[in-house]
Amino acid sequence: MPTALLLENLHPLATQILTSHGIEVVNRTGALDEDDLIAALDGVDILGIRSKTTVTPRVLEHAPQLSVIGAFCIGTNQIDLAGAATRGIATFNAPFSNTRSVVEIAIADIIALTRRLTVFNDEMHAGVWNKSASGAHEVRGRTLGIIGYGNIGTQLSVLAENLGMSVVFYDSAEKLALGNARRMASLEELLEVSDIVTLHVDGRAGNAGMFTAEHFSRMKQGSIFLNLSRGFVPDYAALRDEINAGRIVGAAVDVFPHEPKRKGDPFVSELQGLPNVILTPHTGGSTEEAQEAIGQFVATKIRDYLTTGSTTLSVNLPNLALEYTGASRIAYLHRNVPGVLAKVNQILAAHDVNIEGQLLGTRGDIGYVVTDAGSDVSADAVAELAQLEATVRLRVLD
């Protein structure tokens, strides 16, 4: 029976899906550091995590039984994807399941900051009645600058326009503008015209530190800043300085370069105590609806990989969409070198295995051959395939 270790308080639906297919599930709250994770993965086939657990090369080296990782979140930069691929460990994430939740909190932050609701709320709790329109604005007619025009950025663009905002965006990749949104030729051009700037970039290493003190200084007087993407993208010390100087009049931050691993752990940031600043604990995608959708999506991908060999939407292996046929199936991950398919078929022919269907996919240095056999595959044939020099991982699914 395969064993799954699920960390970081994943939705119960994930456990339900896995256990219903004969998988033994162990749930643990919070994230684990490297040494604790290595110890916990002894004898584990499946690992489920969110964004706080880091799967390093050392972790992979000490987890020979691990065959699949589920990232129950959008990002996968916390996982050594290349290292996992070379060991034949399939990795899946949930790139779309919490898009709406992140977009909604962005809209809520934009309205709250533009109307200075945080300031009024603090004053009221302190017993101060300050009925004033000073500094409070409608979002209608204001310009929203979106940096990163992917799944979240595009959906935010549409909803912002429905609120009467003008939308401009910048993305390093070529993207089709939705509605009346306008593409800016440079990040600097976007900053010059935006009343509100919001980051929605991915976690690739090249985005680390991309929003610098110079970028903050280029923002319009009286503008607002949001980061709901990655904590290592902006210079938060520079943001603090611009808020204290009055150039930026509000900010909402949901992600930080160093985040506590467990609920209740202490948190410190240079942005604490600043006026009209909303700080949330990386909960942009944490709604009950989103977490249920993520739990279902990723757990289903893990189940399908284990039962059929399907790698659809895997982020590190060749993508093959497979269904269960009832035949003996050989799922063979290998180094992508010439002649592997011919050698596989030669071995199968020598052991009188009739091939009913076969698919091959490649991705970088990794190849994936899935063969459906019309007869039982002998242990000798499996052993000979496993001994091929190019072999990464071999499974026979009945």
Q: Is residue 282 annotated as a catalytic residue, yes or no? A: yes
Considering 87, 215, 282, 334, which one is annotated as catalytic? Answer: 282
Considering 259, 292, 356, 384, which one is annotated as catalytic? Answer: 259
Q: Which fold has domain 1-98+288-316?
A: Rossmann fold (3.40.50)
- pTM (predicted TM-score): 0.83
pLDDT at 32: 94
**Residue range 161-173, pLDDT digits in tens:** 999 999 999 999 9
Q: Are 202 and 232 in contact (CB under 8 A)?
A: no
User: What CATH code is assigned to 326-398?
Assistant: 3.30.70.260
**Residue range 4-33, pLDDT digits in tens:** 999 999 999 999 999 999 999 999 998 999
What are the backbone angles phi and psi of residue 16, rounded to the nearest 5°?
A: -60, -45
374 vs 369, more confident: 369
Q: Is residue 104 annotated as a catalytic residue, yes or no? A: no
Cα angle value 207/223/192 (rounded, 5°): 65
Confidence of residue 229 (pLDDT cuts 50, 70, 90): very high
With a cut of 90, say whether residue 261 has pLDDT above it: no
Considering 87, 100, 215, 230, which one is annotated as catalytic? Answer: 230
Q: In terms of residues, how long is the chain?
A: 398
Whole-angstrom CA distances from 302 to 4, 65, 109, 297, 354 are 10, 15, 35, 9, 29
Q: Quote the percentage of the chain above a pLDDT of 90.
A: 91
Q: Are 13 and 222 in contact (CB under 8 A)?
A: no
Q: Are 4 and 45 in contact (CB under 8 A)?
A: yes
- Judge if 1-98+288-316 and 326-398 fold alike in CATH terms: no
Q: Which fold has domain 99-279?
A: Rossmann fold (3.40.50)
d(C-alpha 249, C-alpha 275), whole Å: 8
Confidence of residue 396 (pLDDT cuts 50, 70, 90): very high
Q: Secondary structure of 113-163 in the HEC alphabet? A: HHCCHHHHHHHHHCCCCCCCCCCCCCCCCCEEEEECCCHHHHHHHHHHHHC
What letter represents residue 118's amino acid?
Answer: T
**Residue range 108-160, pLDDT digits in tens:** 999 999 999 999 999 999 999 999 999 999 999 999 999 999 999 999 999 99
With a cut of 90, say whether residue 398 has pLDDT above it: no
Where exactly are the structural domains of the chain? 1-98+288-316, 99-279, 326-398
Residue found by looking up tokens 């025009």 in the block: 149
**Residue range 263-300, pLDDT digits in tens:** 888 999 999 999 999 999 999 988 999 999 999 999 99
Q: Are 219 and 197 in contact (CB under 8 A)?
A: yes
Q: Are 358 and 348 in contact (CB under 8 A)?
A: no
Tokens at residue 80, please? 């050594």
**DSSP code, position 55:** B
Q: Is residue 230 annotated as a catalytic residue, yes or no? A: yes
